[in-house]
Structure 1
Amino acid sequence: MVTFVRVAELGSFSAAATNLGMTPSAVSRQVSRLERNLKIQLIQRTTRQLRLTEAGIEAFARCSDLVCAAQATMQVAQLHSLAPQGCLRLSAPKAFARRVMHPLILDFLASHAEVDVQLVVTDRDVDPIKDGIDLVVRLTRSPPEGLAARALCPVETILCATPQYLAQTGPIEHPRDLVSRSCLFLGENPSDHRWRFRRDNESVDVAVNGRYAVNHTEMRLGGVLAHFGVGCLPDFVARPAMQQGAIVRVLPDWQLQSAYSGHAYVLYPPNRFLPPKCRVLIDYLVEGIASPGERVRHASPTLLSATA
């Protein structure tokens, strides 16, 4: 049943074999054995893809529940003691991981000696099941279906420049003023030089140009600090420099429409038997991000409920 569940989740015998540490032929034999015992076909096999039959869909739902229950049974001692322990794999986007999560994880490790963390820093969308990740942090406007989600914090892309640059070029009072300014943008796609703004019911689309395009937030911040123009930055990257007065926000009344905006969510497979190591880290991140600088180092946070 475990083998069948992995094949259904991952969509191929070879991917399930890699996940389970088996050979594809062994995985195929396990699924065939289950089908013989049930006397019904669960998976339709073609040269290009696998598809669950109607009976396979129902069997997958029931087998998934059994697998979750079995995993919970194996963790019963840990669940009973509520003691977080073991290795936890966590993924997060690069800038958010470095600026927001890394300091909190260091504190978390110091206060939870029985938990190890492997942080996978990547900007690609990670699938917790296929990639074998316990918790996934993703920046999005809405969490994907099929995963449980806990909101960490809102994320906004903002425009910033140094006071020196603005003193030289004059104030920027409307998005159209950016046409005559030097702007730092991503440059990954042809559309990256078009910035779209919204204020109440008004929308403006502006084509910007500049001497430096770079798809790395820290480098764009460096370009802004070097007075090369107006840069688009995630608010959590810009905030420290803004607090120091090194840069200021440009067009604060306008919302820059960006894929790097929305909320930071921590995602995980929906499982009411979520291990304590995952619950306690989720709680730690939520509390630490909501109250930066106010957290007592090495304090023991309250566990989330099993349904959180």
Structure 2
Amino acid sequence: MFNHKLISLLPDLASYILVVNEGSFTAAAKKLGVTPSALSKTITRLESALSVKLFERTTRKLVITQAGRKVYDQSVLMINAAQQAVDVSHSDHTEPSGSITVAAPEAFLNSVLQPFIAPFLQQYPEIQLKVRAIDGDFDLLNMGIDVAFKLTDKPDENLVMKELGPTNLVLCASPDYINDNGLPAFPEELQRHDCLYLAETDRDNVWDFFKDDEFHTVKVSGRYAINHSQMRLHGVKQGLGIGIFHDFVIKEAINEGSVVAVLSDWTIKSNYHGAIALQYAQTKYMPARLRVFIDYVTRELPAKLSN
């Protein structure tokens, strides 16, 4: 264990190494920017603390003792270790390497982030990426997460936030389901339809609708509820009912015609409505690996989201 005495000796040991390397107090003192007499007192203090004689001093020559050589060898190891610590710190901020832990909702990972992971890792071969699918709210700092993607209109105020774009919720159903059951014209009509919702909380089947000054809250029901977006989409395509999705999840299916939008002139609000927010802790000393990841996604993702 370190103690106060050892810590106080470290600068003196570093000065001692320089005296040995330079071969004289005068040359070493010049490099340190002190007087030879001040440096001599430092070495005397070190000898007293270590209870050894480090040099044989003569008027013409400075000779290191046997004990002094052992102290020197160990001190060099100390300085080399300190240099390695400096080098590691420097590389951490200049060279993109090491591990990044990223968290995002499952739907966002599947539909948006997944295509960018392989190209990013290919561009930065010294970075290791740990990706965690986490839905709902979570404490980024306490969970050891470096950067998180959140779908929310209430980002964490204690974290840095970069908005990548907006996200809206969309209702949709298969053309066959609409042909068999009709297309709802008003939110209240959903109560007579089978609806697919997340089933994560007691309020996931309560949908809030806004249009101009109108506001409607509708409690829906259905035979199939699941918090996995791709399985929910598959259920909608199979005609199991009207499902709720983020726009980036359902966009392709709407464009290809396998599903159709329902109540598209209404806005749906929930805990997952608002901005696609990239959040991370504020720091003056951001590691290079994290900086390049943040730069990469803020440069590449908005274009995909807008397509």
Among candidates 203, 206, 230, match of residue 218 of structure 2 = 206
Could you tell me how far 1:256 is from its partner in structure 2?
1.0
What is the alpha-carbon distance in structure 2 between the residues aligned to residue 209 and residue 142 of structure 1? 27
1:291 counterpart SS class: helix
Query: Take 1:76 and 1:225, find their aligned partners in 2: how far apart are those partners?
Result: 53
In structure 2, the partner of 1:101 is 113
RMSD of equivalent CA atoms: 2.4
Q: In the alignment, what sits opposite 1:41?
A: none
Partners of 2:165 and 2:176 lie apart in 1 by: 31
**Shift of the alpha carbon at 1:72?**
9.7
Partner of 1:45: none
1:266 and 2:269 correspond: no
TM-score, normalising length from structure 1?
A: 0.66
Partner amino acid, structure 2, of 1:116:
Q
- Among 177, 187, 192, the alignment partner of 2:199 is 187
TM-score (norm 2): 0.67
Residue 216 of structure 1: how far off its partner (Å) = 2.1
The code of the aligned residue for 2:158 comes to: G
How many residues matched?
Answer: 223
- In the other structure, the counterpart of 1:146 is 158
The CA deviation at 1:203 is 0.4
- Separation in 1, partners of 2:106, 2:240: 24
Counterpart-to-counterpart distance in 1, 2:170 and 2:102 = 27
Aligned-pair CA distance for 1:74: 5.4
**Per-residue deviation, 1:103:** 1.4
The structure where helix makes up a greater share of residues is: 2
After superposing the two structures, state which structure 1 stretch, 251-260 or 214-223, moved more.
Answer: 214-223
Cα 1:165/1:72, change in 2 over 3 Å: farther
Q: Which among 218, 226, 233 is matched to residue 221 of structure 1?
A: 233
Contact map agreement 1:159 1:230 (CA 8 A) in 2 = yes
Residue aligned with 1:76, SS:
helix
**CA, structure 1 residues 206+132, in 2 after alignment: closer, same or farther (shift >3 Å)?**
closer
8 Å CA contact 1:126, 1:136 repeated in 2 = no
Alignment of 1:156-175 (within 5 A): 156-175=168-187
Please, which of 89, 106, 112 is the counterpart of residue 75 of structure 1?
89
Query: Unaligned regions of 5+ residues in structure 2, if any?
Result: 1-84
Partner residue, 1:244: 256
Deviation for aligned residue 1:207 = 2.3
Cα distance change, pair 191–142 in 1 and its aligned pair in 2 (3 A): closer
- Matched residue SS, 1:259: coil
- 8 A contact 2:175–2:259 mirrored in 1: yes
Is residue 91–residue 126 contact of structure 1 (8 Å, CA) maintained in 2?
no
Which of the residues 277, 280, 284 maps onto 2:289?
Answer: 277
User: What is the rounded CA distance, in whole Å, between the counterparts of 1:133 and 1:109 in structure 2?
Assistant: 18
SS at match of 2:249: helix
Instruction: For residue 192 of structure 1, give the secondary structure of its aligned residue in structure 2.
Output: coil
Identical pairs, percent? 35
> Residue 293 of structure 1: CA displacement?
9.4
Render the CA deviation track for 1:217-236: whole Å, top value 9, x for unaligned: 22211110001111111112
User: Equivalents in 2 of 1:239, 1:85: separation in Å?
Assistant: 35
Please state how far the C-alpha of 1:78 moved relative to its aligned partner. 4.5
CA distance in 2 between partners of 1:119 and 1:178 (Å) = 37
2:134 to 122, 139, 162: 122
Q: 1:118 to 1:190 in 2, by over 3 A?
A: closer
Larger of the two Rg values belongs to structure: 2
- Does the CA contact (< 8 Å) of 1:152 and 1:264 recur in 2? yes
Q: In structure 1, what residue type is equivalent to 2:273?
A: S
Report the 3-state secondary structure (helix = DSSP H, G, I; strand = E; otherwise coil) of the residue aligned with 1:136. strand
Residue 112 of structure 1: which of 124, 135, 151 is its match? 124
